[in-house]
Amino acid sequence: MSLKRMAAVLTALAIVPAAVFAGGPEGSQNPALEANDFVYVCRDAGAGGYEAFPDVCRLRDGRLMAVFYAGYGHVALPNESLPRGGRISYCTSNDEGKTWSEAGTLYDGPDDDRDPSIVQLSDGRLICTFFCLRKKEIVREKEVPWVGLGSWMIESKDLGRTWSAPRLISEDYYCSSPIRELSGGRLILGLYRQDRETGVSHGAVIISDDGGRTWGREIDIDNGGYKLDAETDVIELKSGALYAIEREPKTTMCWSMSKDRGTTWSVSKPVGFPGHSPFLLRTADGIILLAHRLPQTSLHYSLDECATWSENFIVDDFIGAYPSMVNLKDGSVLIVYYEEGEGSSIRARKLRVSKAGIQWLKF
């Protein structure tokens, strides 16, 4: 990831059309939120009051774990008040997301550790992936004050009580979605990168066939001529093919397909609507949900294995997003996302999806 790519992250809100901030699109399916329509996962993790980029999974003991970034702003480089910079925090829930524990620190390295994702593998191990920014000691005019350090992972064999030392996954590619465990045990992680020489940005994946102990080379996805900030996520379809969804900053997200378990990918094509930070989930009923930012925090669903998508549903008027979802025991779905801005917090909502559409549930 280039410095230009991270600078674009900071200015992402500035390029969103002004109409987005005025409320949901015409015909929005979500009225103003009322009491019990949402809950706070975390309002302050003790690192400066800014919480963002959440991800959630179910633990083997039945609890839910949400991981998220905690700092003093969108980028929290080390300073006097936070000498180790932004960190990865977590909360857990024993009641299907209705209430959450106080925030704890999952990982806090010497740099700005950010955009965490969490997965529990079939063998019981938890893997948290994230990337890091290191503060520059000397900053020239118009330069951003950090350098990217690539994508990393830590793992836990005891439900998150202790964690391994971080291990590098990719030195020059970045992650925004969790590792996906495919049928047969292969692990695949969506990545993205901007070429330092050409400025071309695209999605990618990386594969592990030994449970994440080692990773192969990064596999680029042809961007089809689109400028893809990517934030790639991947889902396995019923056919065995893999579907990747990629962020595009202004016009339309793109998708790509792999029919050989992620080794090669089709040229990216437009999905037909805009979106940032996409996240895919298959519900207990087999419907595929796609959550994303833009407009605000949004949601689509597919009844035909990602071939077509429903109309847009507004989850919340906050535009932070970076949503994540998990299936609940009663067949409903929990979606977590963040607000954005000073004092940004992590929120959660509940929904049920069927062929008839989205039904929002109260806590």
pLDDT over 70 (residue 16)? no
Q: How far apart are the first and last CA of the chain?
A: 40
Strands of 187-194's sheet in order across: 180-181, 187-194, 201-208, 219-220
Alpha-carbon distances of 318 from 150, 313, 341, rounded to whole Å: 29, 13, 10
**Per-residue model confidence as pLDDT tens digits over 59-78:** 999 999 999 999 999 999 99
CA distance 217 to 206: 6
**Per-residue model confidence as pLDDT tens digits over 273-311:** 999 999 999 999 999 999 999 999 999 999 999 999 999
Cβ pair 251, 229 in contact under 8 A: no
pLDDT at position 95 is: 98
pLDDT at position 2 is: 44
CA distance 336 to 362: 14
Cβ pair 85, 95 in contact under 8 A: no
pLDDT at position 78 is: 98
pLDDT tier for residue 25 given thresholds of 50, 70 and 90: very low
Mean pLDDT along residues 140-151: 94
- The CATH number of 3-361, from 2.120.10.10, 3.40.50.970, 1.10.3720.10, 3.50.50.60, is 2.120.10.10
pLDDT tier for residue 197 given thresholds of 50, 70 and 90: confident
pLDDT at position 195 is: 83
CA distance 214 to 38: 40
pLDDT at position 31 is: 53
pLDDT at position 27 is: 36
**Per-residue model confidence as pLDDT tens digits over 89-98:** 999 999 999 9
The helix (H) or strand (E) run that includes residue 6 is helix 3-10
pTM, whole model, 2 decimals? 0.92
Find, among 136, 129, 64, the residue nearest to 94 by Cα: 64
- To the nearest whole number, what is the mean pLDDT of the chain? 92
The helix (H) or strand (E) run that includes residue 4 is helix 3-10
CA distance 197 to 194: 9
pLDDT at position 200 is: 86
pLDDT over 80 (residue 30)? no
pLDDT tier for residue 250 given thresholds of 50, 70 and 90: confident
pLDDT at position 249 is: 83
CA distance 281 to 316: 19
Residues 6+ apart with CB under 8 A from 196: 2
CA distance 47 to 70: 6
pLDDT at position 155 is: 98
CA distance 256 to 267: 6
CA distance 1 to 321: 21
Residues 6+ apart with CB under 8 A from 236: 180, 182, 183, 242, 243
pLDDT at position 28 is: 44
Mean pLDDT along residues 105-119: 98
Give the chain's radius of gyration (CA, Å).
19
